[in-house]
Amino acid sequence: MYKIFSGNSIEVHKVELTLKNNDIEPILKNESESARLAGFGAPLSNFIQIFVHEDEEVKALALINLLNWDD
């Protein structure tokens, strides 16, 4: 697994949708949500990481670079 992006929930949602629309199934790691569910405090609130499989890394990074962040 390769980490290709990290950010807040809005940014991550945009990247996640772009990847899914291009046949890439991202894996999201939300430590804040995991900590909340376990009853612990969240170290970095609203900070989510996106991972993809090794064979999808290049395509995923190219798609992220094409995103318009002004929306």
**Tens digits of per-residue pLDDT, 7-44?**
998 999 999 999 999 999 999 998 765 555 556 665 55
d(Cα 43, Cα 53) in Å, to the nearest integer? 26
Per-residue pLDDT, 43: 58
- The tally of CA atoms less than 13 A away on the side-chain side of residue 33 is 9
**Domains of the chain (ranges plus CATH)?**
2-66 (3.30.70.1530)
With cut-offs at 50, 70 and 90, classify the pLDDT of residue 69.
Answer: confident
Q: How far is CA 9 from CA 3, 54, 55, 56, 58, in A?
A: 16, 23, 25, 22, 23
3-state DSSP assignment of residue 64: helix
Backbone φ and ψ of 24, nearest 5°: -115, 125
CA–CA separation, 45 and 56 (whole Å): 28
pTM: 0.80
User: What tens digit of pLDDT does each residue of 34-43 get?
Assistant: 555 556 665 5
